[in-house]
Structure 1
Amino acid sequence: MRKPTPSTFLKAAVLTLLPATAAVAEPMQEWRCSVDSLIPAQAALRAEWSRKCGLTTNLNPAGPGSWFSSSKAFDTNFDWAKEYKEFNTNRAWTGNLHQYNVNYYHAFSMYDNTPMYTVAAEPGGVTAGYFKWSHSTSRVRTLYPSFENSPVAGSGTQLFPHPTLANCNLYTDTTGTNVWTSNFYVIAYCESSCYTPEQRILFSGGEQNILDAMKQGREDIVTLSPDATLDNLQLTEGKVYSYTTETRDSEHVIYSVRTASGGELKVTNEHPVVTSEGVLVQAQTLQAGDELLRQDGTPDAVVSVEKSSHFGKVYNLKPMARDQVSNILVAQGYLVGSARFQNDDVDYMNRVLLFRGVPEDALPR
């Protein structure tokens, strides 16, 4: 049997930008993203638009020559990458966590891994002459910025670009009618969700499809116990912190994973699932012969993986608990990751499920 390779998983909903107030802001960020939901093609255009607006309207000094050296990426000669920083932080198209660095936020939105590198200055268009960052691995779902007239998510008015991205204005409506002329801030970087609406999640009274659970406001989610291990997969009842979805129907890539027992799991391509080795992988990496891990700890061999499309909304949830083990849920009888998982969580989970109790100096590096 092929052993799947752990892969990067970015949580499907919101990238928090305000670490000091993350616990308070996160639900409002998710709500802002759901109101401002975009399909992947639109998200890519939004990311390009925000970079263009930051470069052409908010640099001091202005122009392509205003770059500085950034240690967050390299150029093709292995020197530091060329970066631009927004000047007016009260009217910025990028986030505050990384000092309003335009190329960093654009590259983080578009590409999956680091290190990034500088590509040649752009040859044409309104950003001609500006340096840009790139990477060989594109995100399956591009991240995109969402805006508000307050730096704290949910405390002000949500703002939107013109629907055709015709200018760098922001508006209080999605039709581009009522222009906003005062301060604005990026309050979230958004991404879509993971489950199709018919997928059944384990709650305290049994399985229920995620759409009905969201409509009912169910909180009694079942997760792995915080001290669960691969040899002792204890389940416990927790609380749901939030549900996520979109306001618009859109096209999603869905992987239907069928197993030898007759089970089936339908999730988006990046959704994290747990294999029989206790490894957390993306659904898109699975092949026939791999084994999923059932909620009772038994392996179930994958017999087929079919790629299809789903037009509509997809859904996800986050448990109240923030430790990584308690963010393993049960979907269709299989162990899967919640919406909380970020890049470093994948590596952490691989250790916790397989190596609990092993001395730190014996762990793989």
Structure 2
Amino acid sequence: MTSPISRPLAALAALSLFPLAAQAEPLQEWRCSTDSLTPAQANIRIERARKCGLLRNVLNPDAWFLSSRAFDASFQFAKDYKEVNTAVNPLGDKSFSGSSFQWNVNFYHAWGTFDATPLYTVAQETTGATANYFKWSHTATRPRPLYPTFENNASVGTGTQLFPHPTNPDDCRLYTNPAGTGAPVANSSSFFVVAYCESSCFTPDQRVLFSDGDANILEAMKQGREDIVTLGPDSTLDAPQLTQGKVYSYTSETRDSEHIIFNVRTASGGELRVTNEHPVLNREGRLVQAQTLKVGDELLRADGTPDAIVSVEKGTHSGKVYNLKPESRDQVSNILVAQGFLVGSARFQNDDVEYMNRIILYRGIPADALPQ
């Protein structure tokens, strides 16, 4: 097991807090960090985007087409709605979904809300403002919903960031203030979806391993620290190796809210405090959500030692939560050390959600099993 690298980096401008940080990370990541939502808030945003796209742009429940991206329960193409006519509006001005999937309203709603699947229950709504429109649904929801963020310019980072009302799903207007206060943007003004974002999940008191030792994640974000320590790509369960990586981005919420928190204590006296969906590594090398842990399960410490859970307490945290992504996209290199335990980075929460409940850290091959 290698030691954490002791060479600290100079403090940088905080990635999530200042516009100059756009130079240090992709603009979409920066836009998301200034419009960070909890899963509950994200679901309000997603439902609002579908409703407003249908009522403002589609206008007719019978204007559906058969999508080639998804199927209904009878394996027929699912009914979807397109909110943009690209012949007259090629950039998607005043749309509530995105360009990557051709402004398909139901697809974006389902993609942001549910785990990846091509099969949905498709039915007409019977009540509410969108009665008679077809809607897709599924029982398996994303741990971290994906939600749209807006600007008044189609090129991300070149315009003014705009925000839907945070609590009113019936308000289709946008605001320059994330609290939805003050005068809304005029209905005639341009706006565009410039990114889809995910949520955060470390509480601000959580300590994460950097090159010179543990650091409070909130303080690390404020300092713009990049010198994160992760597992090396060649690590195994038998021989985990720590290496210095580089932070790709931090995420933080823009406002306080209430989160479900799991406080996990282990036989060694260790303690891990994370949100319910945070990915942690168990003794099998499998990523599991914190909310699935129970007494007797074993977590992995940074040196690969299994540590039995002696108590799991469910509580709440009122405030903001935080997370980060390493620069590397290698799965093993996205395992961090938090409070001495191996846990997943923000990449596993949506970018690589398919790796949840799968083994990503394997045992090494015994030397006597290798060909001579």
CA distance in 2, matches of 1:92, 1:216: 37
Q: Deviations over 1:338-365 (max 9, x none)?
A: 112246465399565217779xxxxxxx
- Provide the residue aligned with 1:170 in structure 2: 174
Sort the Cα spacing of 1:270 and 1:235 in 2 relative to 1 into closer, same or farther, 3 A. Answer: same
CA distance in 2, matches of 1:25, 1:184: 25
- Provide the residue aligned with 2:211 in structure 1: 204
Q: Once the 2 structures are TM-superposed, how far is the Cα of residue 64 of structure 1 from its aligned partner?
A: 1.0
CA distance in 2, matches of 1:321, 1:73: 31
CA contact (8 A) 1:152 1:187 kept: yes
Q: Does 1:117 pair with 2:120?
A: yes
CA distance in 2, matches of 1:124, 1:184: 29
CA distance in 1, matches of 2:353, 2:169: 35
1:46 match: secondary structure = helix
Provide TM-score, normalisation by structure 1: 0.83
Sort the Cα spacing of 1:121 and 1:225 in 2 relative to 1 into closer, same or farther, 3 A. Answer: same
- The percentage of aligned residue pairs carrying the same residue is 65
Count of residues in Structure 1 that have an aligned counterpart in Structure 2: 335
CA distance in 2, matches of 1:354, 1:265: 23
Amino acid at match of 1:65: D
Q: Once the 2 structures are TM-superposed, how far is the Cα of residue 197 of structure 1 from its aligned partner?
A: 1.1
Q: Once the 2 structures are TM-superposed, how far is the Cα of residue 140 of structure 1 from its aligned partner?
A: 4.7
Q: Once the 2 structures are TM-superposed, how far is the Cα of residue 148 of structure 1 from its aligned partner?
A: 0.8
CA distance in 2, matches of 1:188, 1:355: 38
Amino acid at match of 1:64: P
Sort the Cα spacing of 1:151 and 1:202 in 2 relative to 1 into closer, same or farther, 3 A. Answer: same
Amino acid at match of 2:45: R
What is the aligned-residue RMSD (CA, Å)?
Answer: 2.7
- Provide the residue aligned with 1:49 in structure 2: 48
Gaps of 5+ in 2: 1-21, 86-91, 367-372
Q: Once the 2 structures are TM-superposed, how far is the Cα of residue 98 of structure 1 from its aligned partner?
A: 1.3
Q: Deviations over 1:306-361 (max 9, x none)?
A: 11110011111112222222111111111111112246465399565217779xxx
Q: Does 1:86 pair with 2:83?
A: yes
Sort the Cα spacing of 1:355 and 1:115 in 2 relative to 1 into closer, same or farther, 3 A. Answer: farther
CA contact (8 A) 1:324 1:345 kept: no
- Provide the residue aligned with 1:248 in structure 2: 255
Select between 177-186 and 47-56 the one with higher mean Cα deviation: 177-186
> What are the residue-to-residue correspondences of 1:129-144 with 2, within 5 Å?
129-144=132-147
Q: Deviations over 1:81-138 (max 9, x none)?
A: 1111112422211011211110111122222342442432111332121000000123
CA distance in 1, matches of 2:107, 2:221: 35
1:96 match: secondary structure = coil
- Provide the residue aligned with 2:4 in structure 1: none
Select between 115-124 and 76-85 the one with higher mean Cα deviation: 115-124
- Provide the residue aligned with 1:15 in structure 2: none
CA contact (8 A) 1:272 1:337 kept: yes
CA contact (8 A) 1:202 1:330 kept: yes
- Provide the residue aligned with 2:355 in structure 1: 347
Amino acid at match of 2:150: F
1:33 match: secondary structure = helix
CA distance in 2, matches of 1:118, 1:349: 25
Sort the Cα spacing of 1:357 and 1:129 in 2 relative to 1 into closer, same or farther, 3 A. Answer: farther
Amino acid at match of 2:222: K
CA contact (8 A) 2:53 2:96 kept: yes
Sort the Cα spacing of 1:346 and 1:330 in 2 relative to 1 into closer, same or farther, 3 A. Answer: farther
1:65 match: secondary structure = coil
CA distance in 1, matches of 2:306, 2:165: 50
CA distance in 1, matches of 2:107, 2:184: 30
CA distance in 1, matches of 2:222, 2:267: 33
CA contact (8 A) 2:162 2:175 kept: yes
1:353 match: secondary structure = coil
Select between 150-159 and 69-78 the one with higher mean Cα deviation: 69-78
Q: Once the 2 structures are TM-superposed, how far is the Cα of residue 176 of structure 1 from its aligned partner?
A: 4.8
1:66 match: secondary structure = coil
Provide TM-score, normalisation by structure 2: 0.82
1:215 match: secondary structure = helix
Q: Once the 2 structures are TM-superposed, how far is the Cα of residue 36 of structure 1 from its aligned partner?
A: 2.8
Gaps of 5+ in 1: 1-22, 359-365
CA distance in 2, matches of 1:356, 1:269: 31
Q: Once the 2 structures are TM-superposed, how far is the Cα of residue 178 of structure 1 from its aligned partner?
A: 4.2
Amino acid at match of 2:154: P
Q: Does 1:282 pair with 2:289?
A: yes
2:62 match: secondary structure = helix
Amino acid at match of 1:67: W
Sort the Cα spacing of 1:167 and 1:282 in 2 relative to 1 into closer, same or farther, 3 A. Answer: closer
1:57 match: secondary structure = helix
CA distance in 1, matches of 2:285, 2:39: 31
Select between 110-119 and 83-92 the one with higher mean Cα deviation: 110-119
Q: Once the 2 structures are TM-superposed, how far is the Cα of residue 39 of structure 1 from its aligned partner?
A: 4.1
- Provide the residue aligned with 2:3 in structure 1: none
Amino acid at match of 1:137: A
Q: Does 1:188 pair with 2:201?
A: no
CA distance in 2, matches of 1:356, 1:74: 42
CA distance in 2, matches of 1:202, 1:275: 18
> What are the residue-to-residue correspondences of 1:16-27 with 2, within 5 Å?
27=26
Select between 293-302 and 158-167 the one with higher mean Cα deviation: 158-167
Amino acid at match of 1:175: T
- What is the aligned counterpart of 1:100 among 81, 93, 103? 103
CA contact (8 A) 2:98 2:108 kept: yes
